[in-house]
Amino acid sequence: MLKFPYCNVTDLNQALAQCRFVGLLGPLASRRQSPLAVVSCSPSSSEFSLTPVQAVMSCQQQVGSSLVNLLRLGGLTEDGFSYKEKFIIRGFEVGINKIATIETIANLLQEVGSNHAQSVGFSTDGFGTSPTMRKLHLIWVTARMHIEVYKYPAWRDVIEIETWFQNEGRIGTRRDWILNDVATGEVISRATSKWAMMNQDTRRMQKVSDDVKEEYLVFCPREPRLAFSEKNNKSLKRIAKLEDPVRYSKLGLKPRRADLDMNQHVNNVTYIGWVLESIPKEIIDTHELQAITLDYRKECQQYNVVDSLTSLELTEGSKMVSVGTNGSATATATTREDGHDCHRFLHLLRLSSDGREINRGRTEWRKKPTR
């Protein structure tokens, strides 16, 4: 049970008045403060209209939120325009080789993005919405995600993720991330994403209004800052739609209840797993994912059934090669003529019922390193 220091009183009204804590952590304050600092639990004018029990419960919720901030290894940077948080790679976040999976990395990106939104005072319900958005029942949904991994962290490694967001025209916002190995300071991954606004009730996309934009622009870098700064980077590359016939497929994928997120649709990380379901085994066994780009085109609900389709992407200067081993049945992939592994695939996720496209993607694979 959570015990309230300095609250040794029996009357609940007195408890509300006397249950005061020092060291207020405002929404824009750095979380890197003394571990003794906890939230102030003084009542607001609206709380006096609550019953005594409701008021104390409200006080407990404030304290609980403060404890989360104290235990979280993260906070806003000094300029207030980005957020950094450290994570330990845990046993259930790695695969059979004790290396973090791409889904783990994507989940951590999602987590630190949500924590950043809360740290600047946006909603604490996981949606990261501004006051105007909540009033109009608007939420953010992922439009595109691009992740590049230069080195996968291993079990018990400590990584630090920095994230920031900024305006992306009239259609929404952009969020970027940089992942560092804390032990070496090495950049091990970068990611970028685009987010669009959707009405939570009608499920229709909506333009970002000036009122909403004004609420989040104050937390954006004053100058554009991009995780991938070069002009022709892979995160901008258009993804062609796959057409039948395709070379590889996994049909009849069904969302689990655990795949649904707080926005009441299939979480965007689940799409990564579905894409990987149709990658040929010969690639999975010998290669690791170095880059993935996903375009989210339609939300997927709990009772939808999904087909995952994959084909090779041939580019200029590439040729077909065999990637089978020991005389087994082989898959074919692409490699550059200079001999460097450069296996690229295009992907399509569609509804089994009517063939409607819900996601298209691209992946690049490299030989697994010797560890």
Could you tell me which residues come within 8 angstroms of residue 22 by beta carbon, excluding any fewer than 6 positions away? Answer: 37, 38, 40
152 contacts 99 by C-beta, under 8 angstroms: yes
The residue from 180, 263, 267, 268 that is catalytic is 263
Active site residue 59: no
Element (H, E) at 139: strand 138-149
CA distances for 353 relative to 83, 248, 350, angstroms:
42, 19, 9
- 340 φ, ψ to 5°? -75, 135
d(Cα 125, Cα 109) in Å, to the nearest integer?
17
d(Cα 102, Cα 81) in Å, to the nearest integer?
27
Active site residue 300: yes
Axis-axis angle for helices 268-277, 102-119 (nearest 10): 170
CA dihedral 88, 264, 291, 328 (to 10 degrees): 100
d(Cα 239, Cα 347) in Å, to the nearest integer?
9
One-letter amino acid at 227 equals A
Cβ atoms within 10 A of the Cβ of 84, count? 20
d(Cα 287, Cα 370) in Å, to the nearest integer?
11
Helices within the chain (DSSP H only): 12-18, 52-71, 102-119, 131-135, 210-217, 268-277, 281-286
d(Cα 194, Cα 188) in Å, to the nearest integer?
21
Diameter over CA atoms, the chain: 80
Q: Tokens 């319900």, residue?
A: 125
The residue from 267, 300, 304, 359 that is catalytic is 300
The residue from 116, 146, 265, 347 that is catalytic is 265
Please identify every residue annotated as catalytic: 263, 265, 300
